[in-house]
Amino acid sequence: MSKASSGFTLVELLLYLALLTLFMTGSMAALYTLWSGQTRLYNQLADTAEQSFVIQKVRWIIGQNVVNSPANDTVGATIELAPYPQISGHYLLNVKNRTLILTEPDGGQIPLTRSTTNIDTFSVSRHLLANNWSTLTLTMTFNGKPFTFTVTSTSTP
């Protein structure tokens, strides 16, 4: 008399479990790689957006004021700006506690970067052009990456 076989043998079950384990391990490794790549890409996009926003803010601030310092053909760590309608006081643009800060004539301080953005170094050089215009080249380390841009401004109202 022969016995009818039904179901799987123990060897077959162990083989299927081993194959399933290999498949799941490979899938998890691939998903982790995709997830970490997505996070890295998101951080790069956020940095790029923040850099663009900082450029726009700085250009707008400099365009609305007269640059007093740094002096021509020098490098400094602060930009001093005088308001166009000559009122008392001046604006300062510099880095404090790794944040780009605009200090207003009344002493109020406005952060121009997010709290997650670190600016380690900040310098500005000024070169005189014709007719009281000058270029300001701002160089900073932005979240560990060097970053430079140029702004044209007037030296007199």
From first to last of its 157 residues, what are the pLDDT tens digits of the chain?
556 667 889 999 999 999 999 999 999 999 998 898 898 899 889 888 888 888 888 888 887 787 888 888 888 888 888 876 555 678 888 888 888 898 888 889 989 888 788 888 888 888 888 777 888 888 888 888 888 888 888 765 5
Domain for residue 55, yes or no? yes
Give burial (CB, 10 Å; 0-12/13-18/19+) of 145.
exposed
Domain for residue 19, yes or no? no
Domain for residue 25, yes or no? no
pLDDT of residue 155: 65
Domain for residue 118, yes or no? yes
The parent domain of residue 92 ranges over 37-154
Domain for residue 95, yes or no? yes
Domain for residue 28, yes or no? no
Residue in the structure block whose two tokens are 């004539």: 105
pTM for the predicted model, two decimal places: 0.67
Distances (CA, A) of 56 to 24, 61, 70, 85, 114: 48, 9, 20, 22, 15
- pLDDT tens string 19-35: 999 999 999 999 998 89
Beta partners for residue 67, in sequence order:
81
Domain for residue 120, yes or no? yes
- pLDDT tens string 32-54: 988 988 988 998 898 888 888 88
Q: What is the rounded distance in angstroms from the CA atom of residue 92 to the CA atom of residue 67?
A: 10
Number of domains in the chain: 1
Q: What is the rounded distance in angstroms from the CA atom of residue 153 to the CA atom of residue 155?
A: 7
Residues 74 and 136: beta-carbon distance below 8 Å: no
